[in-house]
Amino acid sequence: MFRGEDAYVSPGFSPSKPGHHRHVPTWNYEVVHVHGTITFQQDEHARRATVGLLTRSHERRVNGKDAWRMADAPADYMAQMLAGVISFRIVVTRTVAKAKLSQNREARDYLGTIEGLRRTGHAAMAADMEARLPRSE
């Protein structure tokens, strides 16, 4: 199971609440369930390759030419850190994804939820919801 963004949604985010009070607290979330055969790769080469690929990708995105590299850390320290990593592969046979993002709400409440999430520090969830809004041409 891989979690995406998640956030508490207050009834107070919905502008229609004062008119009928038919809102309760809820939780918006994004999740993917991957089914398949998993194999664990516990050898140092697999751990080093896994961590190298992940950090290279993220560090380049975040820090550009100043990206941190595994070689920046002392070799003995890096070996100690890698010893705590378990690398794995999944041969996927089925994928189930769900995004529960207040889709069942009327437009003004959906927009109110986006604004409420932004105010409460959940900008990524708000952006995911906003990306699902119909585009005007």
Query: 117, 9 in Cβ contact below 8 A?
Result: yes
Q: pLDDT digit string (tens) for 108-123?
A: 999 999 999 999 999 9
CATH for 28? 2.30.110.10
Q: Indicate whether 115 and 77 sit together in one domain.
A: no
Cite the beta strand spans of 42-134 per DSSP E.
87-100
> Per-residue pLDDT for 8 more than 80?
yes
| Domain carrying residue 66 | 43-85
User: How far is Cα 11 from Cα 66, in angstroms, rounded to an integer?
Assistant: 44
Predicted pLDDT at 40: 94
Q: pLDDT digit string (tens) for 18-70?
A: 999 889 999 999 999 999 999 998 888 999 999 999 999 999 999 999 999 99
Predicted pLDDT at 66: 94
Q: Indicate whether 101 and 134 sit together in one domain.
A: yes
In the three-class reduction of DSSP (H, G, I as helix; E, B as strand; rest coil), residue 70 is classed as helix
Which residues are CB-contacts of 93 (< 8 A; sequence separation ≥ 6)? 35, 36, 37
> Per-residue pLDDT for 135 more than 90?
no
Instruction: Domain count for the chain, please give it.
Output: 2
